[in-house]
Amino acid sequence: MDYDAPLIPAVLERRYKRFLADVQLRSGETLTAHCPNTGSMLGCAEPGMPVWLSHSDRAGRKYAHTWEQVGVANGIRVGIHTGRTNRLVGEVLDSPELMPETAAGGPARAEVTVPGLPMRADFYQEGDGRFIEVKNVTAAVDQGLAVFPDARSSRGVRHLEVLQALVEGGTPAMLVFCAQRADVHTVSPADDIDPAYGQALRRAMAAGVDVIALGAEPTDAGIEVTRRLRVVA
């Protein structure tokens, strides 16, 4: 996935009201950017952190800049824009190397309502009838270990319950964790943050829901899915 233009570097002053962030540009100018992430952004929203923004001239936008990435320890960039995640995964659904489970599944439609169940799936593969849900992972709590969610998520639990119900009814279903950072090799449920999510994830996996994780690397130019990660639940 490529950005329309190189990102703009800045320094985070504060994130507030979930969807807003005040940043300072290299010129010294301070502006407010849209923060496209509803989570707590654990470890990714401390004042003074380097951040990178995209810019849009689209008419009607209240904030012309969008927070895309943040710099954490050791020069690692983390993609925090949850709206980018589906596009990243969609680009590799047919990759035999990165997603062999879905590579032969045929064309995929985005944002498809699951019949009779309370969920709109991120993807539906028409060839094998597979529903796919995608989660963006930003939090890393230990060397190489990323966790999800970074805040309690009743919505995330509900999604797992729907995926489990699909599989138990004979319909294939998959959950894809996508970690937009280069310093992790494993994704696990954040049981200390949301024990209900961890329990629901383990139930879904035991029922036969495919759960995989992908690693992506953000740069000034874009974000690329580069590798598979382990899932340890």
Token representation of residue 193: 């943050």
In a domain, 149, yes or no: yes
Q: Both 71 and 148 in a single domain?
A: no
Cβ(29)–Cβ(138) below 8 Å:
no
Q: Both 58 and 145 in a single domain?
A: no
Domain end among 20, 44, 79: 79
Domain end among 17, 52, 79: 79
Mean pLDDT calculated for residue range 148-162: 96
Q: How far apart are CA 157 and CA 42, in angstroms?
A: 19
Q: Which of 197, 145, 183 is nearest to 39 (CA)?
A: 197
Q: Both 95 and 199 in a single domain?
A: yes
Asked if residue 141 has pLDDT above 90, the reply is no
Domain end among 45, 79, 113: 79
Name which of 29-33, 142-146, 208-212 the model is least confident about: 142-146
Token representation of residue 59: 């008419």
Q: What is the CATH number of the domain that holds 31?
A: 2.40.50.580
Q: Both 13 and 35 in a single domain?
A: yes
Mean pLDDT calculated for residue range 206-226: 97
Q: Both 49 and 90 in a single domain?
A: no
Q: What is the CATH number of the domain that holds 140?
A: 3.40.1350.60
DSSP state of 183: T
Strands 8-16 and 50-55, by their bridges, are antiparallel
H or E stretch at 202? helix 195-207
Tokens 């009779």, located at residue: 116
Q: How far apart are CA 90 and CA 223, in angstroms?
A: 13
In a domain, 1, yes or no: no
Q: Between the CA of residue 141 and those of 83, 91, 213, what are the distances in Å?
A: 23, 28, 17
How confident is residue 85, by pLDDT bands cut at 50, 70 and 90?
very high
H or E stretch at 212? strand 210-218
Number of domains in the chain: 2
The predicted model scores a pTM of: 0.95
Q: Both 102 and 181 in a single domain?
A: yes
Domain span holding position 203: 82-231
In a domain, 186, yes or no: yes
Q: Both 94 and 43 in a single domain?
A: no
β-bridge partners, 129: none
**What is the predicted pLDDT for the residue at 166?**
97
Of the CA atoms within 13 Å of residue 196, those in its CB half-sphere come to 10
- pLDDT tens digits, 175-207: 999 999 999 999 999 999 999 999 999 999 999
- pLDDT tens digits, 20-79: 999 999 999 999 999 999 999 999 999 999 999 999 988 888 999 999 999 998 899 999
Asked if residue 153 has pLDDT above 90, the reply is yes
**What is the predicted pLDDT for the residue at 143?**
84
Greatest CA span in the chain, whole angstroms? 58
DSSP state of 100: T
Q: Both 88 and 197 in a single domain?
A: yes
Q: Percent of the chain at pLDDT above 90?
A: 95
Q: Both 144 and 61 in a single domain?
A: no
In a domain, 118, yes or no: yes
Q: Both 98 and 213 in a single domain?
A: yes
Q: How far apart are CA 113 and CA 231, in angstroms?
A: 27
**What is the predicted pLDDT for the residue at 193?**
97
Q: Is 138 helix (H, G, I), strand (E, B) or coil?
A: coil
Query: From the CB of residue 225, how many other CB atoms can be counted at a distance below 10 Å?
Result: 21
Tokens 């539906």, located at residue: 124
